[in-house]
Amino acid sequence: MSQNVTASAHGGLTLRSDPWWALPLTVVVFLGSFIVYSTWAAFQNAHYYVPPYLSPFYSPCISKSCLHLTFGWGLPEFSLPIIGIVSPAFLILAGPGFFRLTCYYYRKAYYRSFWLAPMACAVRDRSGYSGETRFPLILQNLHRYTWYVAVFFIVVLTWDALLAFRFPDGFGIGVGTIVMWINVILLAAYTFSCHSCRHVCGGVLDVFSKAPARYRLWRFITRLNERHPVYAWLSLFFVGFTDLYIRLVSMGIIRDWRIL
């Protein structure tokens, strides 16, 4: 038997009956928490170095006031009204920050969760949408340049991870050494699974058979790229965790266990 139910075909926000709001909300909570923590940590300008560990938020340390100068020299300190001396973290955080900001995966995440365009599939979009055709979102097209910068950071963080074997009393391995190596491996997995990297390394070609080395590289990056969102989240959490670990050891709240 049938009965009338008055409603238009697609009135309201959506006809979806599943908890479609859960994923964007989760992204807001976790991404928001990371942004709050990393901003707080960058403002601290302290407890970012405990021999032989340097926090990834402060690497490369290029300010003269740095506790551990990466290149042996430092830029002069500069201050801003109200803020005071600018933390060295702010000199370098923009690099990886812009890489994540323009990342094809994070674009999906924050367009859905923060931009609400749209919040979820088949959920009504906000009005006034122009996509990535106008300033500032048209700058997303420069993602590959932020990738080049991110590759530089991987080199620097790998150097830091190597230095994490050099304790004041000689060669050693601590829990912090392992934390720093996991951090750099996850960040490298995220950086080299990037869509722009995939394009630059081989995706641009139409005839793979004429460039077998680039084809093999493209296939390898394609396999990494399939897990790009996983690497994006794992590396985000772990870079925050690495800073927190070094901070807590530096403050004397926890002790770094020496394995070797």
Which chain residues interact with other proteins by CB under 8 A?
Answer: 1-10, 14-18, 104, 107-108, 111-112, 115, 117-118, 121-122, 124-125, 129-133, 137-138, 141-144, 195-196, 199, 203-204, 206-209, 215, 225-226
Radius of gyration for the chain, computed over Cα atoms and rounded to the nearest angstrom: 22
Residue 225: Cβ within 10 Å count: 20
User: Contact at 8 Å (CB) between 161 and 184?
Assistant: yes
Whole-number minimum distance, CB 230 to other proteins, in Å?
Answer: 14
Whole-number minimum distance, CB 21 to other proteins, in Å?
Answer: 13
Whole-number minimum distance, CB 190 to other proteins, in Å?
Answer: 15
| CA atoms within 13 Å, Cβ hemisphere of 148 | 4
What does DSSP assign to residue 80?
Answer: E
Would you say 61 or 201 has its CB closer to other proteins?
A: 201
Whole-number minimum distance, CB 32 to other proteins, in Å?
Answer: 19
Would you say 62 or 123 has its CB closer to other proteins?
A: 123
Q: Are strands 84-85 and 166-167 parallel, antiparallel or unpaired?
A: unpaired
Would you say 68 or 112 has its CB closer to other proteins?
A: 112
Would you say 104 or 220 has its CB closer to other proteins?
A: 104
Pick the closest to residue 247 from 82, 32, 44, 87 (CA basis): 44
Whole-number minimum distance, CB 31 to other proteins, in Å?
Answer: 15
CA angle at 237 for the pair 234 and 239, rounded to the nearest 5° = 100
Would you say 1 or 253 has its CB closer to other proteins?
A: 1
What does DSSP assign to residue 93?
Answer: T
